[in-house]
Amino acid sequence: MSAPSKGDLIAVWFSCGAASAVAAKLTLERYGDLCDVRVLNNPIAEEDADNVRFMGRVQAWLGIAIESVRNSKYPNASAEEVWDRRGGMSFPHGAPCTYHLKKEARQQWEAINKPAWHVLGFGAEEQERHRMFTLTERANVLPILIEAKMTRQDCFEYIVNAGIKPPRVYGMGYPNANCIGCVKATSPTYWNHVRKAHPEVFARRAEQSRRLGAKLVRVNNQRIYLDELDPNAKGRPLASLQMPECGLFCEERRAA
């Protein structure tokens, strides 16, 4: 892969998580004087409200505006609306919310702005996700964090050391700062954590998933509805679940 040239447009996709925040910072430090670096965010209605506070702090830290990119077909940027309109919540090849609110929104932005490069928050431990993205989506992705050998945990510590308080959902035990009640999660540990920390979200996901026929949780290798989940059921510890930041593509989280 070639390197960016003077005047190239680099699109950094910021997902309100620590990894993408640090990826934006390192991109600006490395290419800010050479290229046109723009930091972009796909707002999602189902994310925690504190993400807006975090984005404001990151914006001040970066010294440039973080631009909002929405799909013109979904101006409300609501995952629940996507699930209803698509008649499903989780499909074998990815989540419809990711496709419409992130991927399709990105494609609309790309068609107008034509960036030469993209940057996503793939940490050093996510080289396979980066490889798959470059194979199936875009080859022109700069592996900023991978080259810096920075893991997601490294990124979390980096922003804390910079004096930025992370999104509050991290302190609630969630593995990332994306939508609460991620429909690609199948772990009973995860869903019972949502039930305890955000019962109103669990209730909405349970109602909508039953209505749409989406069995979101896996117990003993069998899919069941959320309203069938034993409140005491557990799988792997929450901290060990592999749930990266929700980026521009989405694979199924099979951790149990």
In terms of pLDDT, which residue wins out, 146 or 249? 146
Task: Dump pLDDT digits (tens) for 207-219.
Answer: 999 999 999 999 9
Task: Dump pLDDT digits (tens) for 41-52.
Answer: 999 999 999 999
Task: Dump pLDDT digits (tens) for 229-249.
Answer: 999 998 877 766 665 556 554
Phi, psi at residue 238, to the nearest 5°? -55, -40
Question: Tell me, what's the pLDDT at 20?
Answer: 94
Give residue limits of the domains in the chain. Answer: 9-171
CA angle 48, 163, 20 (to 5 degrees): 55
Q: Percentage of the chain surpassing pLDDT 90?
A: 81
User: Is the per-residue pLDDT at 136 higher than 60?
Assistant: yes
Question: Tell me, what's the pLDDT at 55?
Answer: 97
User: Is the per-residue pLDDT at 254 higher than 70?
Assistant: no
User: Is the per-residue pLDDT at 176 higher than 70?
Assistant: yes
Q: What band does 191 get if pLDDT is binned at 50, 70 and 90? A: very high
User: Is the per-residue pLDDT at 87 higher than 70?
Assistant: yes
Please, what is the angle between helix 199-212 and helix 79-86, to 10°?
10
Question: Tell me, what's the pLDDT at 213?
Answer: 97
In terms of pLDDT, which residue wins out, 57 or 240? 57
Q: What band does 36 get if pLDDT is binned at 50, 70 and 90? A: very high
Average pLDDT over residues 71-83: 98
- Following DSSP, what letter does each residue of 117-169 receive, concatenated? EEE----GGGHHHHHHHHHHT-S-B--HHHHTT--HHHHHHHHHHTTPPPPHH
Question: Tell me, what's the pLDDT at 6?
Answer: 97
Instruction: Report, at the CATH architecture level, how domain 9-171 is classified.
Output: 3-Layer(aba) Sandwich (3.40)
Q: What band does 251 get if pLDDT is binned at 50, 70 and 90? A: very low
pTM for this entry: 0.88
Average pLDDT over residues 5-27: 96
